[in-house]
């Protein structure tokens, strides 16, 4: 049995509840039942049949609505591994650091191309960080205070999963000086990210140690599952860029969040309209079960 969860970024119209079941049936599936998770906001349609066909039928079927189709028995996940920039926070941190140095446009272009999968991530990171050479270390704290905004729904998602006995790991191709405080604020168990080279209070323009990239993200998910004894089906991964694809592909539920086209194409589900609480609805949790509202 499968469940198609539809989440409105705004609210559903009066006829959308029955229309959702009709849409699932139009894909040749047998509808077993439908119910609100939160009335006018999120609903489930249980069915048997071709899950891929149902996904194709329901995605984009209703205005400003996200649809996630998955096996009913696997929808409650125990592990979340998440990207940071443009996923758990609203910005790209290196781009914002570059703004303080007056070079944001040239760095932001490289970031965008790397996230779209048009450039090698490791080379793109090193080239962007090199342009920050000589920037004062104090700008990092200034950027944290002035620019970093937690993505709507991030705290609710992570804290709810942890309150239910789950685990949350932030794995970022960004840098630790942002990832560690962001992880603490949201409620992650730990953060893994790149280390900016800093000497005598200024950025050296180098990344210290090995690059945290796509394969690190995938390996972190797999290693955490091995340590906990959880199956891949109990995991979810969420990100927006091409370097998130490997972890998205191996997770039980890989979610592309307001993502680049290549990432969306590789994911099991896409959230294009709502915030991160769409994933809580996909797990079947109404607002009354969320650990916090944000």
Q: Is 171 left (phi over 0), alpha (psi -120 to 50) or beta?
A: beta
Q: Which of 46, 66, 83, 95 is catalytic?
A: 83
Longest CA span, the chain:
66
294 noted as active-site residue:
no
- Tokens at 87, concatenated: 């996923």
208 is catalytic: no
Catalytic residue of the set 85, 240, 244, 275? 85
Strand order in the sheet with 2-8: 30-38, 42-48, 2-8, 65-71
- Catalytic (active-site) positions: 83, 85
């Amino acid at each position: 049995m499968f469940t198609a969860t539809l989440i409105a970024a705004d609210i559903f119209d009066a006829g959308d509840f029955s229309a959702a079941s009709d849409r699932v049936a139009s894909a040749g599936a047998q509808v077993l039942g439908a119910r609100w998770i939160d009335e006018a906001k999120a609903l489930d349609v249980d069915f048997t049949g071709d899950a891929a066909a149902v996904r194709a039928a329901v995605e984009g079927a209703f205005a400003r609505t996200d649809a996630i189709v998955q096996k009913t028995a696997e929808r409650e996940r125990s592990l979340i591994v998440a990207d940071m920039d443009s996923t758990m926070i609203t910005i790209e941190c290196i781009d914002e650091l570059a703004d303080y140095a007056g070079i944001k446009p040239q760095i932001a272009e490289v970031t965008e191309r790397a996230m779209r999968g048009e450039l090698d991530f490791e080379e793109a990171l090193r080239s962007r960080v090199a342009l920050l050479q000589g920037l004062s270390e104090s700008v990092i704290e200034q950027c944290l205070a002035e620019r970093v905004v937690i993505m709507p729904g991030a705290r609710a998602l992570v804290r709810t999963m942890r309150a239910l006995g789950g685990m949350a790991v932030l794995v970022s191709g960004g840098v630790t000086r942002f990832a560690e405080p962001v992880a603490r604020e949201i409620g992650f168990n730990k953060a893994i990210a790149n280390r900016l080279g800093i000497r005598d209070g200024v950025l050296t323009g180098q990344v210290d140690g090995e690059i945290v990239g796509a394969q690190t993200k995938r390996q972190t998910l797999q290693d955490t599952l091995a340590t906990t004894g959880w199956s891949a089906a109990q995991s979810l991964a969420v990100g927006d860029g091409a370097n998130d694809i490997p972890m998205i592909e191996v997770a039980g539920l890989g979610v592309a969040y307001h993502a680049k086209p290549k990432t969306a194409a590789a994911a099991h589900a896409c959230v294009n309209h709502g915030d991160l609480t769409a994933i809580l609805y996909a797990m079947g949790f109404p607002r009354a079960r969320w650990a916090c509202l944000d």
